[in-house]
Amino acid sequence: MKNALLWIRRAAPLAALTGLLGLGPAPALALEVDETSLPRIAVEGEFFGTLDYTQHWAGTADGAPVGEDRTDFRPNTDDSSVTFTLDKPLYQGSRVGGVVLQLGLEEEAVVPRASAFFGGPRYRFQFGQMALRNTLVRFPTIRDDDLLPYTHVLNGSLGLAGSEGHLYGEAVVLDYYFRPAPWRLALWSQERAQTERDAASGDYVAAESARTNSAGLLLAYDVPEATRYEHRLRRLGVLVDGQRLERRDGETATQQAVVVGGVVGLNDYPEFPWELAFQVMQTGGLADRDASGAPLAAQSEDELAREAATAAVLGLHYAHRTNLQTRWRAGLTLAQKSFPDLDRASQWSVVPSFFKRVGNGVDLVAQAAYTAYAEGLSAILGRERTLAVQVGLTLELEGSFNDTVVDPGSILELEHGRLFRGF
């Protein structure tokens, strides 16, 4: 009895502390085992800081000058972004779910985007704000949109400002993987940026009632990074894109585009790789008409996205990777675009670029882009030639924490598919 009283006396402070803690918030499910677990957090980011010098030479129309010579010089951090992916393995069947959070810098404004995803070894379902599926190949330029009119299926809505409406939107995407073969099929529905004519001013403004206005599909052969140099054909794909747009006469019409592209390895040396990238894009045009039904030709730059066009891009890339450490990279990209329904309407560009590695993921960059326009386009755009020179620095960030999901292109997944828990 004496020992029992002594034990109760010693345990009283602990019991009192336990009682006080019990007055605080309690878990919703008191008997839940491992109720919360940390997700894997993957961080990817790209920063572009360049000084841009651009020279425009005035255009001509029937021998008369259109526009005027203009010179621009400015610092440019556009297209920089940081992306956080938070994903967790699910209980059933090697599936995973999570969210993607991105902060992008566009025209000196921070633009947040978010999407959610769910998937397994053979599929991925994603919905939310994300990059549009309107291009196939990444060429050796500083920014992905440096050759935007040649490389991306442009948004045909009138009155868009900047490149944001051509690159991002709301989307629902389903990717299906034909494992172990490196083929992928993708289907999507997208809500591109939309504009409408303001009744008072007649100008085009952002549409108040947005709706899904495009869809597409993709069939692609993609070699995983881990086995990239074992294959000469490293990427090949075909993309079909359709947009539903409002014509000038108020009728709704559809504009289709077909994109074919790929990447070929010119050698199989991972230390000194040469690669050739190509892409051809055919846009059907909207056949725009006025209220009386007469055909309308493009009169401004954003209206060109509604014209039938053919664009071809060819990019040559070399990387100097002594002991598998990148020292420098160089690229040369050639692009050409023509508008068959417009008179003397074509353009071409030459873009050499150079990247010097000065740190882990840090490059000094230099690029020059020269573009020339035929007389028909020169009259519409108000410029005959353009030279853009960019010099600056790029920074790439990549890392992950609490790794609980195996990536699809990793050695573990490629050699031991049964371990695959991601997509």
pLDDT tens for each residue of 120-155: 888 999 999 999 999 999 999 999 899 999 999 999
Residues 6 or more apart whose CB falls under 8 angstroms from that of 325 comprise none
Residues of the chain with pLDDT below 70 are 1-36, 93, 210, 404-423
* CATH number of the CATH domain containing 333: 2.40.160.10
Q: Is residue 213 domain-resident?
A: yes
DSSP category for residue 176: E
**Confidence (pLDDT) at 5:** 45
Are the C-beta atoms of 308 and 283 separated by less than 8 Å? yes
Q: Is residue 32 domain-resident?
A: no
Q: Which of 299, 397, 357, 315 is nearest to 146 (CA)?
A: 315
H or E, element range at 378: helix 375-381
DSSP category for residue 423: -
Q: Is residue 357 domain-resident?
A: yes
Q: Is residue 276 domain-resident?
A: yes
Number of other residues whose CB lies within 10 A of the CB of residue 208: 7
Q: What is the distance between the alpha carbons of residues 373 and 381, in angstroms, rounded to a whole number? A: 9
For the segment 349-392, what is each residue's pLDDT rounded down to a tens digit? 999 999 999 999 899 999 999 999 999 999 899 899 999 999 99
What is the span of the domain harbouring residue 216?
Answer: 120-391
**Confidence (pLDDT) at 208:** 74
Q: Is residue 305 domain-resident?
A: yes
Q: Tokens 């747009």 sit at which residue? A: 245
Q: Which of 200, 303, 296, 190 is nearest to 240 (CA)?
A: 190
The pTM is what?
0.86
CA distances from 198 to 34, 159, 208 (A): 55, 11, 11
Q: Which of 274, 349, 367 is nearest to 312 (CA)?
A: 349
- Count of domains observed in the chain: 1
Q: Is residue 75 domain-resident?
A: no
Q: Is residue 106 domain-resident?
A: no
**Confidence (pLDDT) at 154:** 95
Q: What is the distance between the alpha carbons of residues 362 and 347, in angstroms, rounded to a whole number? A: 33
**Confidence (pLDDT) at 34:** 60
**Confidence (pLDDT) at 196:** 80
- Buried residues in 288-303 as b, exposed as e (16+ CB within 10 A): bbeeeeeeebbeeebb
Q: Is residue 159 domain-resident?
A: yes
CA distances from 208 to 70, 196, 211, 371, 390 (A): 36, 8, 10, 36, 37
